[in-house]
Structure 1
Amino acid sequence: MFQNIKINKISNSLTEIITGNFNARIKFHDYNKSVRNLIINLNRLIDKFQEVAAVNKQYEDDRKKMVSNISHDLRTPLTAMLGYVEMLQTDASLSLNEKKEYLNVIETKGEVLRNLIDEFFSLSKIDSDDINFEFKKIDITEVTRQCILSFLKDFEAKEITPIIKIPEKEVYITADEKSINRILQNIIGNSLKYGISGKVIGISLKENKDSVTIDIWDKGKGIKKEDLPYIFERLYTGEKSRNSNLKGSGIGLTIVKKLVEKHNGKIEVESLPYEKTTFKITFFKKLRNM
Structure 2
Amino acid sequence: MRKTLYSKIATFFIIILIIITTITGGMLYFFLGNFVTQEKERSLNSAGDSINIMLKNYTEKINDPVMTQTLQNYLLSYFLGNLELIGDNVEATIWVVSKNGDIVILVNEKYLDNSVMAKLRDVTGNLRLPDKRQYEKVMKEGQYVKETGDFYGLFKDTNVSWLTIEKPYSYNEEIQGAIYLSIRVPEINNARTNVFKFYIISISIAILVSALLVYIFSLKITKPLKLINNAAREIANGEFSKRLDISSEDEIGQLAESFNHMAVALENLEEMRRGFIANVSHELRTPMTSIHGFIEGILDGTIPPEREREYLSIVSDETKRLSRLTNDLLDLARMESGEMKLTFVTFDINELIRRCIIKLENQIVTKNIQIEANFHEEAAHVYADKDSIERVVLNLLHNAVKFVQDGGQIIIETEMSKGKVMVSVKDNGAGIDSEEIGLIWDRFYKSDKSRGKDKSGTGLGLAIVKNIINEHGQEIRVESEIGKGTVFYFTLNPAKEDNENNM
TM (normalized to structure 1)? 0.86
Who wins on radius of gyration, i.e. which is larger?
Answer: 2
Determine whether 1:141 maps to 2:354.
no
The change in CA–CA distance for 1:88 and 1:215 in structure 2 (over 3 A counts) is same
Tell me, in whole angstroms, the C-alpha distance in 1 between the residues paired with 2:252 and 2:303: 75
Indicate how the Cα distance of structure 1 residues 16 and 192 shifts in structure 2: closer, same or farther if over 3 A, else same: same
- More displaced 10-residue stretch of structure 1: 183-192 or 212-221: 212-221
What displacement does 1:129 show? 2.0
The structure 1 residue matched to 2:253, chosen from 26, 43, 46, is 43
SS in 1 for 2:373: strand
Tell me, yes or no, if the aligned pair for 1:198 and 1:218 is still in contact at 8 Å: no
Sort the Cα spacing of 1:204 and 1:9 in 2 relative to 1 into closer, same or farther, 3 A. closer
Say which of 278, 296, 304 aligns to 1:86. 296
1:238 aligns with 2:443: no
1:160 alignment partner AA = I
Q: What corresponds to 2:396 in structure 1? A: 187
Q: Unaligned 5+ residue runs, structure 2?
A: 1-210, 232-241, 497-503
Aligned residue for 1:24?
A: 245
- Match of 1:133, SS? coil
Residue in 1 aligned with 2:307?
98
Instruction: Decide whether the 8 Å contact of 2:412 with 2:424 is kept in 1.
Output: yes
State the Cα distance separating 1:103 from its structure 2 match.
0.6
Aligned-partner SS, 1:207: strand
After superposition, residues 255-274 of structure 1 pair within 5 angstroms as 255-274=464-483
8 Å contact kept, 2:433–2:482: yes
Q: Is the 8 A contact 1:10 1:26 kept in 2?
A: no
Aligned to 1:229: 438
| 1:57 lines up with 2:264 in the alignment | no
Alignment of 1:215 onto 2:215? no
SS at match of 2:341: coil
Which stretch of structure 1 is more off in the superposition, 81-90 or 59-68? 59-68
Q: 1 CA distance for matches of 2:406 and 2:336?
A: 34
Change in 2 beyond 3 A, CA 1:26/1:220: closer
Deviation at 1:121, TM superposition (A): 1.1
Q: Is the 8 A contact 1:13 1:26 kept in 2?
A: no
Summarize the Cα distance change of 1:265–1:10 in structure 2 as closer, same or farther, 3 Å threshold: closer
The CA distance in 1 between the partners of 2:414 and 2:401, in whole Å, is 18
Give 1:26 shift. 6.7
Structure-to-structure mapping, 1:165-176, within 5 angstroms = 165-167=374-376, 169-176=378-385
Q: How far 1:169 moved relative to its partner? A: 2.1
- Alignment partners' CA distance in 1, 2:268 and 2:418: 40
**Distance (Å, rounded) in 1 between the aligned partners of 2:468 and 2:218:** 53
1:70 to 273, 280, 286: 280
The answer as to 2:404 corresponding to 1:199 is: no
Q: In the TM superposition, what whole-angstrom CA distance separates every residue of 1:249-271 from its partner, at most 9, and x where no partner exists?
A: 32100100111112222111111
Moved more, 63-72 or 126-135: 126-135
Q: Name 1:253's counterpart in structure 2.
A: 462
Please tell me whether the aligned partners of residues 197 and 219 of structure 1 are also in contact (alpha carbons under 8 angstroms).
no
- CA distance, structure 2, for counterparts of residue 211 and residue 160 of structure 1: 29
Q: Structure 1 residue aligned with 2:360, among 151, 154, 164?
A: 151
The amino acid of 1:110's aligned partner reads T
The 1-side partners of 2:327 and 2:468 are apart by 16
Q: Which amino acid aligns with 1:90?
A: D
Contact 2:480/2:487 (<8 A) preserved = yes
In the superposition, relative to structure 1, how do residues 132 and 10 fare at CA in structure 2: closer, same or farther (>3 Å)? closer
Instruction: State the shift of 1:95 in Å.
Output: 3.3
Contact 2:376–2:415 (Cα < 8 Å) also in 1: yes
Q: Which one scores higher on RCO, CA 8 angstroms, separation ≥ 6? A: 1
Cα separation, 1, equivalents of 2:372 and 2:387: 24
Moved more, 246-255 or 175-184: 246-255
Code of the aligned partner of 1:117: T
4+ long deviations beyond 6 Å: none
Match of 1:32 in 2: none
Query: How far off is 1:98 after superposition?
Result: 0.9
CA contact (8 A) 2:370 2:407 kept: no
CA distance in 2, matches of 1:83, 1:253: 31
Deviations 1:9-34 (A, max 9, x none): 6434432342236423277xxxxxxx
Query: 1: distance between equivalents of 2:265 and 2:403?
Result: 33
Q: How far apart are 1:99 and its partner, in Å?
A: 0.8
Q: Which amino acid aligns with 1:122?
A: D
- How many angstroms apart in 1 are the aligned matches of 2:328 and 2:257? 38
**1:111 maps to 2:332:** no
Q: Which amino acid aligns with 1:178?
A: D
Deviation at 1:132, TM superposition (A): 2.4
Deviations for 1:211-249, whole angstroms, at most 9, x for unmatched residues? Answer: 111111111111001111111122222245xx5335633
| Comparing 53-62 and 161-170, the one that deviates more | 161-170
